């Protein structure tokens, strides 16, 4: 639980959001949280097919990009976003929550793990591998990714859960620089749920990790 709770607002988009528009919105919102004390925000959306490069991205991991590639200030390497993937951008004032970045990342992981558990999916952390991992076809695969940025103790960017994206689109990159393991989705794991059901699980799980939302 957090040291100090602050109101969190939720916003859900019904149609895919262009990546440059999303980044501009997050930067403006983070500034408003920092400078004017606006409420924290969790923004749920999808993107059209695209790749993003984090601050640790290696150009050699950009194999055959079939979609636009965006440089971004979040941590991590290359990842894919597209329809069927729930992106949750989290804009929080960490100064109101203990100013502990390591704990924030842990809490994001726990939020994902707890939300997946609603659907009897056993996700977990792995040493040396960012994201949330599951057993899939006798191996391990990533089902959710994490990439954040913090400016003056206000967070933005966030997490992405693969509900039912086109997994072949990952073939244009080495996801997160990890060649030994693949990516999967809830649908590939046999979990037949809607995006709205996933959103409800994310909202229900939030309170136990970050504190109550209105």
pLDDT, tens digit (0-9, with 9 covering 90-100), for 96-152? 888 999 999 999 999 999 999 999 999 999 998 889 999 988 889 999 999 999 999
Query: Can you tell me the mean pLDDT for 36-55?
Result: 96
DSSP state of 176: G
CB atoms within 10 A of CB 214: 7
Helix (H, G, I), strand (E, B) or coil at 42: strand
Work out the number of other CB atoms within 10 angstroms of the CB of residue 30: 24
Catalytic residue set: 176
What dotted CATH number matches 8-210? 3.30.930.10
pLDDT value, residue 2: 38
Long-range contacts of 112-118 (CB under 8 A, 24+ apart): 112/144, 112/146, 112/159, 112/161, 114/205, 114/208, 114/209, 115/161, 115/198, 115/201, 115/202, 115/204, 115/205, 116/143, 116/144, 116/161, 116/186, 116/201, 118/201, 118/204, 118/205
Going from N- to C-terminal start, the domains of the chain cover 8-210
Most distant CA atoms of the chain, gap in Å: 50
pLDDT digits (tens, 9 = 90+) for 152-203: 999 999 999 999 999 999 999 998 887 888 999 999 999 999 999 999 999 9
User: pTM for this structure?
Assistant: 0.93
Residue 76 confidence (pLDDT)? 87
Mean pLDDT taken over the chain: 93
In this structure, the strands spanning 85-91 and 40-45 are antiparallel
Q: Kindly report the number of other CB atoms within 10 A of residue 96's CB atom.
A: 18
DSSP symbols for 70-133? EE-SSSSSEEEE-TTEEEEEEE-BGGGGTS-HHHHHHHHHHHHHHHHHTTT---EEETTEEEEE
Predicted confidence at residue 6, as pLDDT, reads 57
Sign of CA dihedral 55, 60, 63, 64: positive
CB proximity list for 94: less than 8 A, separation 6 or greater: 100, 101, 104, 150, 153, 154, 155
Torsion sign, CA atoms 15, 21, 26, 29: negative
Note the pLDDT of residue 212.
58
Other beta carbons less than 10 A from residue 54's beta carbon: 21
| Token pair in block for residue 98 | 């203990």
């Amino acid at each position: 639980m957090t040291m100090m709770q602050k109101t969190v607002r939720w916003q859900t988009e019904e149609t895919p959001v262009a990546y440059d528009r999303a980044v501009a919105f997050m930067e403006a919102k983070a500034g408003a949280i920092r400078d004017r004390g606006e409420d924290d925000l969790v923004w749920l959306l999808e993107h059209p097919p695209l790749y993003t490069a984090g601050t640790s991205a290696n150009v050699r991991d950009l194999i055959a990009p079939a979609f636009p590639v965006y440089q971004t200030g979040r941590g991590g390497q290359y990842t894919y976003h597209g329809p069927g993937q729930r992106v949750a951008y989290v804009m929080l004032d960490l100064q109101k929550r203990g100013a502990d970045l390591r704990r924030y990342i842990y809490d994001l992981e726990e939020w994902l793990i707890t939300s997946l558990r609603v659907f009897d999916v056993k996700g977990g952390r792995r040493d040396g591998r960012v994201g949330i991992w599951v057993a899939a076809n006798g191996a391990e695969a990533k089902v959710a990714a994490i990439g954040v940025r913090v400016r003056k103790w206000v967070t933005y960017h966030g997490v992405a859960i693969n509900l039912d994206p086109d997994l072949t689109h990952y073939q244009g990159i080495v996801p997160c620089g990890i060649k030994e393991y693949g990516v999967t989705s809830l649908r590939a794991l046999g979990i037949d749920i809607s995006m709205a059901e996933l959103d409800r699980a994310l909202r229900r799980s939030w309170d136990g990790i970050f504190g109550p939302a209105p």
